[in-house]
């Protein structure tokens, strides 16, 4: 089974390290530079002593990887407790709260000149603002146009269908997508559905922007009382 001198040496050393030292397959693999499956094949008939097994169990329980895993699990549990508590801190959304939330969102992400619209990559944000436009301005999804900013190699039609389903904006309202060319030094597939820019179309709809910006200014002035 083991003929070449070099291979024979590794074979014998692997058995020595397993039988006499009680090393794990991973430790032997690292020492000899062979695969774990090879070490297993060479040493599978060797029975370790109880003391050797105890050492291996101790090492597994105290390995850095296991410690990191335990810390991550602990942190995940802490975060879930925080999230459960936070869910109880907001119980309802009345109309004024909805108006203010949408206004703040537009203040942060919306267009400030030329048109009334917003760009973002988060489907929840876009779905929220489309619903907000409908509630406070009676703007239906078919009155909104959309353009995508995607990466070279992305499936343009698939992404348009995704956003159309998310927002209710008809596919016919999607214009030509901007596709970032290959080799521009930017990482690809960071945003699997790209960035969508929505804009309310129709005569007079640019006036909506002035109303929304005025609302945001009023919210800012009212917030000063909490300084």
The DSSP output letter for 153 is: T
Q: For residue 78, with 0-12 CB atoms within 10 Å meaning exposed, 13-18 middle and 19 or more buried, which class applies?
A: exposed
Is there a contact between 20 and 55 (Cβ–Cβ < 8 Å)?
no
Domain residue extents for the chain? 5-48, 95-226
Task: Please state, in angstroms and rounded to a whole number, the distance separating the CA atoms of residues 102 and 108.
Answer: 10
* Residue bearing tokens 């794990």: 24
Q: Answer yes or no: is pLDDT of 1 > 60.
A: no
Assign domain 95-226 one CATH number from 3.30.1330, 1.10.10, 1.10.3470, 3.40.50.
3.30.1330
What pLDDT, in 10s, does the model give residues 48-76? 888 888 888 888 777 777 667 778 888 89
Percentage with pLDDT > 70 across the chain:
94
pTM (2 d.p.): 0.68
What pLDDT, in 10s, does the model give residues 155-213? 999 999 999 999 999 999 999 999 888 765 555 557 889 999 999 988 778 889 999 99
């Amino acid at each position: 089974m083991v003929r070449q001198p070099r291979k024979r040496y590794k074979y014998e050393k692997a058995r020595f390290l397993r039988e006499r030292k009680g090393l794990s397959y991973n430790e032997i693999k690292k020492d000899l530079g062979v695969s774990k499956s090879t070490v297993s094949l060479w040493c599978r008939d060797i029975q370790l002593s109880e003391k050797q097994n105890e050492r291996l169990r101790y090492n597994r329980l105290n390995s850095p990887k296991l410690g990191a895993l335990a810390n991550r699990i602990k942190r995940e549990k802490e975060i879930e407790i925080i999230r459960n508590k936070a869910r109880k801190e907001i119980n309802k959304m009345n109309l004024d709260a909805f108006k203010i939330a949408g206004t703040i969102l537009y203040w942060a992400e919306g267009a400030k000149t030329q048109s009334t619209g917003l760009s973002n990559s988060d489907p929840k944000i876009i779905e929220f603002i489309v619903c907000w436009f409908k509630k406070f301005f009676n703007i239906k999804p078919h009155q909104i146009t959309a353009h995508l900013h995607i990466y070279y190699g992305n499936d343009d039609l698939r992404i348009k269908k995704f956003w159309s389903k998310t927002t209710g904006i008809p596919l016919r309202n999607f214009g030509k997508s901007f596709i970032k060319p290959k080799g521009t030094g930017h990482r690809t597939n960071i945003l699997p559905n790209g960035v969508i820019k929505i804009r309310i179309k129709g005569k007079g709809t640019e006036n909506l922007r002035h109303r929304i910006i005025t609302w945001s200014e009023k919210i800012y002035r009212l917030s000063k009382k909490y300084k």
